[in-house]
Amino acid sequence: METIGRIHSIESFGSVDGPGVRYIYFLHGCPLRCQFCHNPDTWGSKKYEEYTPEKALQQAMKYKTYWGKKGGITISGGEPLAQIDFVLELFKLAKKEGINTCIDTSGGCFTREEPFFSKFNELMEYTDLLLVDIKEINNERHQLLTGRSNENILDMARYLSEIDKPIWIRHVLVPERSDYDEDLIELDHFISTLSNVYRVEILPYHTLGVFKWEELNIPYQLEGIKPPVKERVENAKRLLHVDRYTRYLDN
């Protein structure tokens, strides 16, 4: 049976989702229900196009001359690992062309159970970097914020450290949800136990996707919560010691 990917949207000149200039596929589907999600239309709507891995690579290759030495393809979402078969086949083709590959993931699909775990390990052979989104280190608050436990997400981060797969850690700073000093300190302690972290990034919460919630008639649970002020962002950077992580990937 032919592998098909459900593509929510495409960004041809991404500059913040991996090293260099990236061609980004945003995939449809996600197990989390983050209160701050700016793509809730990836959850269950029918707004997507179907691509084979071959078609997806051919589309991206049109822009290869712009990527330089560090750029390449990033698969984001939604949640890329919800379509692991498609990502695996696409990355196999991409590596044959010498393309840098990156996955932006919440880790919500990760499990050490089969058949997922074997597929994940094979995918890692063709993946250069993962951007791992840790929404909240406190499990109770994580469940409030995303609707799911963070136990398997943290397990994925530990496993990627075990196999020495390079990652960037990303944390969305949401006032009254994921900006508690004690949690940021705990997250810093967790990150310090990992040996594969090349960068730590603070992503300030924004409301640019609120209109999508309104279009889908989904109640927006962060109504009235404003983006964090500069002082809170700087405080988070300090507590997470983001300057400690300045390693670069060899491409």
Q: What DSSP string describes the chain? A: ----EEEEEEEEEESSSSSSSEEEEEES--S---TT-S-THHHH-S--EEE-HHHHHHHHHTTGGGSTTT-EEEEESS-GGGGHHHHHHHHHHHHHTT-EEEEEE--TT--SSTTHHHHHHHHHTT-SEEEEE---SSHHHHHHHHSS-SHHHHHHHHHHHHTT--EEEEEEE-TTTS--HHHHHHHHHHHHT-S-EEEEEEEE---TTHHHHHHTT---TTTTPPPPPHHHHHHHHHHTTGGG-------
Pairing of strands 5-14, 49-51: antiparallel
pLDDT (0 to 100) of residue 69? 87
Residues in the chain, pLDDT under 70: 248-251
Tokens of 40: 């809730």
pLDDT digits (tens, 9 = 90+) for 35-66: 999 999 999 878 899 999 999 999 999 999 99
Tokens of 232: 């809170």
154-to-66, 100, 138, 139, 161 alpha-carbon distances in Å: 35, 25, 11, 10, 11
Going along the chain from its start, the domains and CATH numbers come out as 3-247 (3.20.20.70)
- Upper half-sphere CA count for residue 120 (Cβ side, 13 Å): 22
Pairing of strands 5-14, 22-27: antiparallel
* Confidence (pTM): 0.96
pLDDT (0 to 100) of residue 50? 97
